[in-house]
Amino acid sequence: MKVGVVCRKVYDYIRYDLREIAFPSSLPDPPHIQNRPKLTWRDNLFILKKATRLYCASWVRDIGPDLRPNDYTKDNEANGEAKTTSSAPEKEPSVIEDLAVAARGGMETLRPALQRVYLTRASAYRDALQSFIQGYQEGVQQVMEKKEEEESKTQSEGNAPKKST
């Protein structure tokens, strides 16, 4: 080969192939994907203000109506009262809320809370496993009973003369 041909092939390799190997181009979007329209400056500013307000409100220890506006009514806010759910029965806190309260107290209060969570999960797993094993054993017994019935039927029919085909 001539030197010019070799140089051109090396140049083409570096220019096209090596760049694609080092920085591969992404696949094009599927045809059914529609690009969302870009937001206006006003929309971006509104989103930024709302996100900043929520972020600042999240640093407050007592989460109030400014963070969860849907939980409070305007009538109660005017009176300065929080919405009370007297008609609804008191519900116990969820596991996440319980762990959050325990985490604020430090490791001394978090450890027993985590132990309670793991013990309840372990007992639920154990109960589910026991019920599965019990159901499996019942299913095996039913299959064995059916098999014994079929064997007894074939033995009683075995005494009768068989037709050959």
For residue 142, what pLDDT is reported? 96
Q: Where are the beta strands (DSSP E) in the chain?
A: none
- List pLDDT tens digits, range 113-153: 888 889 999 999 999 999 999 999 999 999 999 999 999 98
Residue 85 has pLDDT above 80, yes or no: no
27-60 per-position pLDDT tens digit: 888 888 888 889 999 999 999 999 999 888 777 5
Half-sphere exposure of 16 (CA within 13 A, CB side): 6
Answer for the pair 67, 58: CB distance below 8 angstroms, yes or no.
Answer: yes
Given this model, what pLDDT does residue 148 score? 93
* Cut 0.75: pTM above it: no
Q: According to the model, what pLDDT value does residue 58 have?
A: 77
For 113, counting Cβ atoms within 10 Å of its Cβ (0-12 exposed, 13-18 middle, 19+ buried), the class is: middle
DSSP state of 71: G
